[in-house]
Chains A and B, each alone.
Chain A
């Protein structure tokens, strides 16, 4: 830009008292120094405004040099600058907005709205943010992004085994998972396996934006399926400005994570086992005298493959190391987009090959997507997309509770080699007196659990402009998921398939879903101050599921695996299942705004579901919301401090209908086989009680929120408080067992969640060369069960069982509560008489035994002494991330934290209370001895001489943590270079994910569960260790 000559002359003719005009001119550039057309420039004093031209140039008249000019552009932080004398042209460099931009358009159910006009609590994540942390699944990518959304990545498995909760729990029996809607097509909740979620099969690289609807006003449009929140995914579209090619690639390697548990080494194990034998004399004198126990010193002498003649071990194996791999993973994403203002298309291809930390653990995905949109007539737009994904995974950590791979990493004896010199596997089973099992490398090699999922997702739409502001839209959506499980457990896997001489299972499931939705949208502004948007629609959805499974046992060879079941000597009777359910719904919404300051939204949906009793097929879910844009009021408008202030409040009802189909019908079961004459005889017997009154679970939610922007939104804050109450909870209400049934599915019981969400984004430094942005969020949720079907506590629902019930659902308490005894420590010598008043399994308690709190003082330790001993839900969680940009280099440091969540670490029970049966944690070196009486760990003894072990407070640990989630260093090649290469974008980056973990938790990782049960968060029994992942990536655009 050049200096305006007139500006010079004007300043020279300056007269006092007369308003002189100064013409200020300049150029606006983006972060890549490219001129930006269309940037809004406004004088904050006179409200005079203009926009930049095609070359990014502008000129504007001001009254004084001190007058403030603001520069605003969608997607960038609004900047303010003093006009100056006009002597030098202004050069404004825009900084991409990290925080909320008020003019961003967000997707809401069945439509879009400007962020500033939204009356509900909606969180939004854009493609650019998702790119910062490449992830295998959407859930992983969302983690920590939005307040109120809790994503637990509970396993180091590729894909992560995520668990997502929006604002706590709404249900005990049905799902707590949100509803996913992709490009307006509701994904079926359907049947899932192995903690996978329908959304896991979507390639995150295809996502343009994600919106999370949290409050009742936003989700009510999804009525009976909105109670757990709704996640709206918008996929990438074609380009309106000509052909573009993008290529994104990353390579990564997993390594053993920041924390690992220590097990006994060979030498320590031998000492511990010797002591265990010696102590049997004390804890079972009779059995010891009778010769019941074998001296391990002698035992080892007979094992020349493992011990030398002095009984010293020949090997000292680190099984963690042996079982893990550092294998390269890669992910390629190729995008072709093209088109013009009328017609756009896009083709996206993805190949992902993830190799997990554990040997032979992988996830491979091929996906392709084609999308097309065409303004075929001035009054009609049509389009659609078709997406196909083929995903294959080997889940190597299945079989929680059994002697599976992850368990044997801890429990394999350190004195075993992986294989003996003759090439055969060395397994715990080879060591007399041990519990058995195979070594982890053996299991990882000979056990396959292949999940193959093919997902076809498509939609086609037509938008017809019927009249000014009136649009009709019709969408057909379809989702066909075929899911196959091919499982083979080898003939030599002790404790898994050795007794069966190999087991194979094939399970196939096909889920076909279609939806057909039609709706009218009407937009109109009346007079000047009244604007309305109306929506009215109806919808049909149907799901059909069919599946079958076959299997066989007893194979003469491992060669066939699951590929030829006729090789099985013992066929397992096949089974099949069919399921279908349908929805029919009517919905509507009205938005009204007055003077663009006062916003009102009313929503309602009438939903009908086949799953409910004949007396209750339909239900209505209304909601309402108001918002007040305070910053539009004259008393604030133009304030140099407050640039945005919006208050909003909403209330509404939503539902949850995700119970099994046919739950209202009384049925007979075929799961009864009698045996007559040593042959199977199929029986048909009692199975389920009918309940024709079965209906929806209802959640009422109120929400109050505030959105605040300060200093031109350099600081933006969004905070919400909410209260959710679920009533008519669908519960398997226990019925008297005397009826021959154990429960009836009923609408009874209630539960509440109260919570607080707070997010702040700040632009700390913003100069031409250096910017620093911070994003912090914190969420808190408190859950309480208000009433249940009967006064009785519920056990065995939502929690896994262990040596005892591990969890309880009790009125007045939060779901996810752990249940057990309180361990006070161990009995000391001086307490011998007191200890002797207790007996356990008929045996008198001695010094060195575990000392429990005898709650009722009856000298019996039993169920009456159990109580709530912890809870797996955090008191607060969130993330804290900082992004620094210096010229073309950027650095992102993202931390994730969780506070107040307990972990029920049952792994420790196995690794501390069963010395000798398997390897133990090295913490047993601190076990009770007469010299070390002040310890919580019982005296070591041969297990047959009796450990007392229970679900107790010893296994409950504080799982609070701070995790270094992602450390990313990127470099954008400057325009000069990209131009030379004929590219419009070239970026390289390197990242380390899970780069540190600060926690008091003694296990591998406190963000964990090894169970799929709804309230099992934090309950772990040998988990897939989470890796630290090193990554390099490249983004190319041309």
Chain B
């Protein structure tokens, strides 16, 4: 009988692992590794991050070969969409891993108490980070907080109300605030600054749609963002180039980033964001998967540095082969995430190896969160709110604002969010939270429902688009999730 006994020599089992502190470190490391799903591929010429851009009207694609991407862009997606499924699966994978950490790590003894608390804090942050995406994308979602086996009672879970999911998020983040994490962490781990920034973002969202918790939560958001603003260490980079510079990763303006390193896992977005086969990079694959719409690019104020070729967020010309003669592209492409080292620059060949991180929370967003939240909490913008907004505008070399009404100030902040935070997976959630969409032609805001994309007027947002559908396969495999989100 021993002859047929099985023991896997190449893998570990959960029953026998988690005995020494290193196991706790390895467990939380796996959760960080899982966050990279955002850059993982979703079929030919597409990565998951594109889902959040394609539906905003600010982006389009130059490759027609991925119909999931095409369906998102045309707002004709449904629950079969691979990106819709990948986000769901990717986020729940992070949750499963953090649940494992939160359940197993406390039992590791002996272990340094400080480090143990930090690991649990990191896990709670990452779990909250994942649930915050889930609840905004899909609405009511199953709330799983313990590791699963095939016999777990919530293996086939039902959906939990949005309100309760948010409660779990704020509970986790509040706990993580007290986990003894450093204010900043240049290693790429979660810091206290990241926890508070995310919490301010959560409060701002809770204040708006769909929970509509109003002034009290705007106040919470303002207070929390102010804590980050008044802490030392964070601030805007003087130059937009720093946003995508390897030397500025995990510091200054970058509060939390997804970590990439070519020798472990290179930044997979570089080739996707390049113009479609224009030979402006050392990379031989240039896909044009996600590129800006011309209308959005043109909506930046005259003189806005962010729209200046190769100095802000866009480029309309680049060096042949990445390092040769300057070549006009006659269309805008995203410079915000452009890795100069990997792609090349004038006179220096690119390495085609991208270590560049992918941003999740920037100080600029915290400033704008404060400005918006304070204005709503107090009924009128204070000096700090103006300063927060004007810091952003000053850097963009556009006129500072003053003396606006509450609503005019609010719209100004929104407009700034659209222009400052574009292509970072933020705009879509602003659209849903505000039920407003920036109109490039009027420079004002349309209601979400009925808004037509500037560059493809036949693409019109409807009520149902406020939520993504649950992945069809998930609903079929777990009937407890029925009904599907409205309209899908």
Q: Is B44 on the interface with A (CB-CB < 8 A)?
A: yes
28 sampled A-B residue pairs with Cβ under 8 A = A286-B455, A292-B330, A498-B284, A499-B284, A570-B262, A580-B9, A582-B3, A662-B8, A667-B11, A673-B265, A674-B28, A674-B29, A676-B32, A678-B188, A679-B261, A680-B261, A683-B31, A686-B147, A689-B150, A734-B473, A740-B147, A795-B473, A842-B455, A917-B277, A943-B62, A943-B63, A943-B64, A943-B276
Q: A737-B88, A842-B73, A863-B80 are in contact. Are A500 and B352 (CB under 8 A)?
A: yes
The chain B residue sitting closest to A859, CB to CB, is B76
Q: A685-B30, A801-B43 are in contact. Are A670 and B11 (CB under 8 A)?
A: yes
Which of the segments B91-99, B376-384, B385-393, B429-437 contacts the partner chain? B91-99
B8 and A675 form a contact (CB under 8 A): no
Q: Is A429 on the interface with B (CB-CB < 8 A)?
A: yes
Q: Is A930 on the interface with B (CB-CB < 8 A)?
A: no
Most chain B CB inside 10 Å of its own CB: which residue of A291, A682, A691, A842: A842
Chain A, interface residues (CB within 8 Å), range: 35 or more
Which of the segments A49-57, A885-893, A947-955 contacts the partner chain? A947-955
Which of the segments A314-322, A432-440, A520-528, A636-644 contacts the partner chain? A432-440
Interface string of B15-55 (1 = CB under 8 A from A): 10100000101111111111000000001100000000000
A557: which B residues are within 8 A, CB to CB?
A: none
Interface string of A413-456 (1 = CB under 8 A from B): 00000000000000001001111110000000000000000000
A498: which B residues are within 8 A, CB to CB?
A: 284, 352
A499 and B352 form a contact (CB under 8 A): yes
B282 and A499 form a contact (CB under 8 A): yes
Q: Is A298 on the interface with B (CB-CB < 8 A)?
A: no
Interface string of A277-292 (1 = CB under 8 A from B): 0000000001100111
Report the Cα distance A914→B476, complex, angstroms. Answer: 36
Q: Is B114 on the interface with A (CB-CB < 8 A)?
A: no
Which of A680-696 touch B at CB < 8 Å?
680-687, 689-691
Which of the segments B152-160, B166-174, B192-200, B212-220 contacts the partner chain? B152-160
A670 and B60 form a contact (CB under 8 A): no
Which of B244-276 touch A at CB < 8 Å?
249, 259-265, 276
Which of B261-307 touch A at CB < 8 Å?
261-265, 276-279, 282-286, 288, 294
B189: which A residues are within 8 A, CB to CB?
A: 676
Interface string of A485-525 (1 = CB under 8 A from B): 00000000011001111000000000000000000000000
Q: A290-B331, A861-B76, A946-B64 are in contact. Are A738 and B144 (CB under 8 A)?
A: yes
Which of B127-163 touch A at CB < 8 Å?
141-142, 144, 147-150, 152, 155-157
The chain B residue sitting closest to A946, CB to CB, is B64
Report the Cα distance A948→B65, complex, angstroms. Answer: 7
B17: which A residues are within 8 A, CB to CB?
A: 668, 684
B77 and A862 form a contact (CB under 8 A): yes
Partner of A686, one of B44, B70, B100, B285: B100
Which A-B residue pairs are the 10 nearest by beta carbons? A740-B96, A685-B30, A842-B456, A683-B29, A683-B30, A792-B476, A863-B80, A674-B29, A499-B352, A841-B70
A842 and B188 form a contact (CB under 8 A): no
Looking at the assembled complex, report how far the CB atom of A442 sits from the nearest CB atom of chain B, in whole angstroms.
13
Report the Cα distance A540→B1, complex, angstroms. Answer: 12
Q: Is A791 on the interface with B (CB-CB < 8 A)?
A: yes
B10 and A863 form a contact (CB under 8 A): no
Partner of A685, one of B1, B31, B80, B187: B31
Q: Is B360 on the interface with A (CB-CB < 8 A)?
A: no
Partner of A662, one of B6, B89, B477: B6
Interface string of B457-488 (1 = CB under 8 A from A): 01100000000000111101110010000000
Looking at the assembled complex, report how far the CB atom of B45 sits from the nearest CB atom of chain A, in whole angstroms.
9
A690: which B residues are within 8 A, CB to CB?
A: 149-150
B44 and A609 form a contact (CB under 8 A): no
Q: Is A46 on the interface with B (CB-CB < 8 A)?
A: no
Report the Cα distance A944→B275, complex, angstroms. Answer: 10
B44 and A433 form a contact (CB under 8 A): no
A434: which B residues are within 8 A, CB to CB?
A: 277
Looking at the assembled complex, report how far the CB atom of A848 sits from the nearest CB atom of chain B, in whole angstroms.
14
B12 and A684 form a contact (CB under 8 A): yes
Partner of A668, one of B11, B71, B148: B11
Report the Cα distance A950→B78, complex, angstroms. Answer: 16
Q: Is B405 on the interface with A (CB-CB < 8 A)?
A: no
Most chain B CB inside 10 Å of its own CB: which residue of A669, A684, A914: A684
Report the Cα distance A308→B16, complex, angstroms. Answer: 72
* A-B contacts, CB under 8 A, total: 291
Q: A495-B284, A661-B8, A841-B69 are in contact. Are A675 and B155 (CB under 8 A)?
A: no
B6 and A661 form a contact (CB under 8 A): yes
The chain B residue sitting closest to A865, CB to CB, is B76
Report the Cα distance A862→B469, complex, angstroms. Answer: 14
A914: which B residues are within 8 A, CB to CB?
A: 65
A668: which B residues are within 8 A, CB to CB?
A: 11-14, 17
Which of A524-552 touch B at CB < 8 Å?
540, 542
Q: A676-B188, A861-B76 are in contact. Are A740 and B157 (CB under 8 A)?
A: no
The chain A residue sitting closest to B100, CB to CB, is A686
Report the Cα distance A736→B152, complex, angstroms. Answer: 12
A677 and B353 form a contact (CB under 8 A): no
Report the Cα distance A499→B142, complex, angstroms. Answer: 42
Report the Cα distance A576→B9, complex, angstroms. Answer: 11
Report the Cα distance A664→B13, complex, angstroms. Answer: 12
Report the Cα distance A944→B33, complex, angstroms. Answer: 34
A804 and B67 form a contact (CB under 8 A): yes
Give me 13 other A-B pairs in contact (C-beta within 8 A), A432-B279, A684-B29 excluded.
A292-B331, A437-B284, A498-B352, A540-B3, A579-B10, A662-B8, A689-B150, A690-B150, A737-B88, A738-B142, A841-B60, A862-B71, A943-B64
B74 and A841 form a contact (CB under 8 A): yes
Report the Cα distance A680→B265, complex, angstroms. Answer: 9
Partner of B478, one of A609, A738, A843, A948: A738
Which of A711-757 touch B at CB < 8 Å?
734-742, 744
Report the Cα distance A185→B134, complex, angstroms. Answer: 55
Report the Cα distance A683→B259, complex, angstroms. Answer: 14
Q: Is A844 on the interface with B (CB-CB < 8 A)?
A: yes
A741 and B148 form a contact (CB under 8 A): yes
Q: Is B4 on the interface with A (CB-CB < 8 A)?
A: yes
Interface string of A816-841 (1 = CB under 8 A from B): 00000000000000000000100111
Partner of A864, one of B78, B188, B282: B78
B96 and A862 form a contact (CB under 8 A): no
Report the Cα distance A665→B5, complex, angstroms. Answer: 11
Which of A848-865 touch B at CB < 8 Å?
860-864
B26: which A residues are within 8 A, CB to CB?
A: 682-684
Most chain A CB inside 10 Å of its own CB: which residue of B150, B152, B186: B150
Looking at the assembled complex, report how far the CB atom of B53 sits from the nearest CB atom of chain A, in whole angstroms.
12
B188 and A947 form a contact (CB under 8 A): no
Report the Cα distance A946→B73, complex, angstroms. Answer: 13
B13 and A666 form a contact (CB under 8 A): yes
Looking at the assembled complex, report how far the CB atom of B413 sits from the nearest CB atom of chain A, in whole angstroms.
28
A741: which B residues are within 8 A, CB to CB?
A: 96, 148
A352: which B residues are within 8 A, CB to CB?
A: none
Q: Is A577 on the interface with B (CB-CB < 8 A)?
A: yes
The chain B residue sitting closest to A673, CB to CB, is B264
Q: Is A790 on the interface with B (CB-CB < 8 A)?
A: yes
Interface string of A647-666 (1 = CB under 8 A from B): 00000000000000110111
Report the Cα distance A437→B15, complex, angstroms. Answer: 49
Q: Is B118 on the interface with A (CB-CB < 8 A)?
A: no
A801: which B residues are within 8 A, CB to CB?
A: 43
B33 and A734 form a contact (CB under 8 A): no
A494 and B97 form a contact (CB under 8 A): no
The chain B residue sitting closest to A500, CB to CB, is B352
The chain A residue sitting closest to B293, CB to CB, is A842
B4 and A608 form a contact (CB under 8 A): yes
Partner of B78, one of A681, A739, A862: A862
Q: Is A802 on the interface with B (CB-CB < 8 A)?
A: yes
Report the Cα distance A434→B78, complex, angstroms. Answer: 33
Q: A683-B33, A739-B144 are in contact. Are A666 and B149 (CB under 8 A)?
A: yes
